[in-house]
Amino acid sequence: MGKKAVFITVRTSSTRLPNKALLEILGKPTIQYVIDRAKASAEKDIVVLCTTTNKADDVLEKIAGRNGILCFRGSENDKLERWKGAAKKFGVDFFVTADGDDLLCEPELMDLAFRQHSMTGADFIEGGEGIVCGSFTYGIKVSALEKVCGIKGTSDTEMMWTYFKDTGLFKTEKLECDKLFSRPEIRLTLDYEEDFMLFKEIFGHFDGKGFSLRDVIGYLDKNPGLVKINQFRLRDWADNQKKKTKLVLKKGA
């Protein structure tokens, strides 16, 4: 039986907010918060930081080592191939992804995805309708990932979900979770300066203590002005995602 993993997908190159993975909040680089939350998953067997072979990402490998998690280095642009390489190297059957800019990715949701896959055998699990942006990305079965890598016709796979959802080849599901997490107006991912401002407010309030996404939602509900700091960026982010999404298959696939 293969392992269940959390794959943290991160690289230092970023354009909208340069070196965002290394920006500090309360003296810790932002990627540290993602690592800490991934390690808090009760269902996972291992955590793997998946970065690139670029020399600039040496620092990320060192951070992984200091935090007692595994590291895999692969393609810069092809996330699918990078994940496939990590899965093969560490004997993974199913993994949940956590993007390096999702500082409040939620262990509770990761564990729900692991359990949902165990019950249904889904190839691909995505966040439920209106789920807090940045709280959960995807759960992926490695055999489905290998099939996708065999049919894709490009190495630009940043918007990789389309290969699972739009080809009709896979069993895809929405994550089944508490409706509390259905808050489409809340943006908790790090792409813009305004996102960084909100994260500093949140982590400053909790002062580095252990807290859940449920706690964060409660705090934001009591302080609705905070949500507005970066709320307008939701449209920019959605437009950017739409622009980048393309399904490119090999001839005959």
What string of DSSP letters covers 104-172?
T--HHHHHHHHHHHHHH--SEEEPPTTBPBTS--EEEEHHHHHHHHHHB--S--TTTHHHHHSSS-S-E
Please write the tens of the pLDDT for every residue from 140-186.
999 999 999 999 988 887 778 899 999 999 999 999 999 999 999 99
| 166: its two tokens | 């739009």
Q: In this structure, how many other beta carbons lie within 10 angstroms of the beta carbon of residue 121?
A: 11
**190 within 8 A of 30, measured Cβ to Cβ:** yes
Instruction: Find out whether 29 and 21 touch, Cβ atoms under 8 Å.
Output: yes
Average pLDDT over residues 2-25: 90
DSSP assignment letter at 246: -
Whether residue 244 has pLDDT greater than 90: no
Per-residue pLDDT at 243: 64
CA dihedral 229, 230, 235, 236 (to 10 degrees): 130
Domain spanning 3-244: which CATH class is it, in words?
Answer: alpha beta
d(CA 63, CA 71): 9
**pLDDT, mean of residues 50-71:** 97
pLDDT of residue 159: 77
Q: Given pLDDT bands bounded at 50, 70 and 90, which one contains residue 240?
A: low
Asked whether residue 237 carries a pLDDT value surpassing 70, the answer given is: no
Question: How large is the average pLDDT for residues 180-203?
Answer: 96
Residue 165 pLDDT? 93
Checking if the pLDDT of 205 tops 80, the result is: yes
Q: Is a pLDDT exceeding 90 seen at residue 245?
A: no
pLDDT at 229: 96
